[in-house]
Amino acid sequence: MNVVHIINEALSSKRTRFAFELLPPLKGDGMQKIFGAIDPLVPFDPAYINITFHREGIKETELPDGGIEWHVVRRRPGTVGISAAIRQRYGIEVVPHLICGGLSKYDIEDTLIDMDFLGLHNVLALRGDKSQNERRFMPHPQGHAHAVDLVRQIAAMNRGEFVDGEVEECHHSKFSIGVAGYPEVHFEARDITSDIRHLKEKIDAGAEYVVTQLFFDNRKYFDFVRRCREAGIEVPIIPGIKPLSTLRHLEVLPETFAVELPEELVREARTHPDHVREVGVEWAIAQSRELMAAGVPVLHYYTMSRTNNIQQIVKAVF
């Protein structure tokens, strides 16, 4: 089933569901760890599961003559394969992420064809971040500079238009496309107005729902939704929630995701340094309850593939 149908069903039945996001296994790991992260959440009836997509990294090796050799490495390949394995094992819809970074339009098309053959008809279309050795995001020479172009490619493929032209009498894919939105503004955007204008371009290009960057202050989400509606964005906007789990998060999360942590949360975490995980769970439960009361159709939990705190949250909330 297309995820947008699941979201719309949740909206019309006024029953909030939850989804969660996992990383594909590290290269060399099997699937057991990821299944071990999913198993305890299955009894709570997740609406769907997202699987992130990771671009290549660069590894430096020093040669005996003092020179440097660069290798392209992929630490977490396998987004499509693990998505199909999860869908088959649990019968739960899976949303593989797909990025522009490091991929040509042809690579993207091949990936989408594999997804379609494997019964994966949902995709979260993203630009991705710069690679380690870049100062800013550089598109692949035959790829896309922005997520909107990826959305256009997927929507065109749904109409039977491929990168090298139309195929007569072809099979039409039916991808349901989600995109990312930023309640606290994307770090490269000029301002919130231009960021929301670009978000609207993604919707106009064929995206059917938005998943937000993580945030810790629900007022930021409510304000973002209001601004999006004023800008003519009518699709569901799924809030992204990440429970704080280590003291290090107090520095890392604002730096990595360009988000602010509320003073009260920081104070609680610093006052109880041995119980940060519990503080994070309590905060996420309160956030979830308020968002549910406001009628959001789905709560999207970021997990980094460790789900015991998500278990505690969904047990308390659903």
> Interface residues with ligand FAD (CB under 6 A)?
52-53, 55, 97, 99, 124, 126-129, 146-148, 180, 186, 188-189, 194-195, 198, 211, 213, 240
What span, in angstroms and rounded, lies between the C-alpha atoms of 240 and 234? Answer: 18
Shortest spacing between CB 55 and ligand FAD, in angstroms:
6
Shortest spacing between CB 202 and ligand FAD, in angstroms:
6
Shortest spacing between CB 199 and ligand FAD, in angstroms:
7
Shortest spacing between CB 272 and ligand FAD, in angstroms:
29
Tokens read off for 284: 């996420």
Decide whether 167 or 304 has the Cβ nearer to ligand FAD. Answer: 304
Shortest spacing between CB 308 and ligand FAD, in angstroms:
22
**What is the three-class DSSP state of 9?**
helix
Decide whether 97 or 277 has the Cβ nearer to ligand FAD. Answer: 97
Shortest spacing between CB 257 and ligand FAD, in angstroms:
8
Q: How far apart are the first and last CA of the chain?
A: 22
Task: Give strand pairing partners of 50.
Answer: 21, 95
What span, in angstroms and rounded, lies between the C-alpha atoms of 234 and 73? Answer: 40
Decide whether 55 or 277 has the Cβ nearer to ligand FAD. Answer: 55
Decide whether 126 or 276 has the Cβ nearer to ligand FAD. Answer: 126
Shortest spacing between CB 231 and ligand FAD, in angstroms:
13
Count the neighbouring beta carbons within 10 Å of the beta carbon of residue 165: 6
Decide whether 213 or 307 has the Cβ nearer to ligand FAD. Answer: 213
Decide whether 143 or 269 has the Cβ nearer to ligand FAD. Answer: 143
What span, in angstroms and rounded, lies between the C-alpha atoms of 261 and 250? Answer: 7
Tokens read off for 206: 């064929």
Main-chain phi, psi angles of 79, to 5 degrees: -55, -45
Distances from the Cα of 312 to the Cα of 38, 54, 147, 282, 318, angstroms: 14, 28, 34, 9, 10
What span, in angstroms and rounded, lies between the C-alpha atoms of 313 and 282? Answer: 8
To 10 degrees, the CA torsion angle through 275, 276, 282, 286?
160
Distances from the Cα of 2 to the Cα of 7, 121, 178, angstroms: 9, 7, 11
Task: Give strand pairing partners of 212.
Answer: 181
Decide whether 189 or 266 has the Cβ nearer to ligand FAD. Answer: 189
Which residue, among 318, 316, 302, 247, has the nearest Cα to 37 in the 3D structure?
A: 302
Shortest spacing between CB 154 and ligand FAD, in angstroms:
13
Decide whether 146 or 249 has the Cβ nearer to ligand FAD. Answer: 146
**What is the three-class DSSP state of 61?**
strand
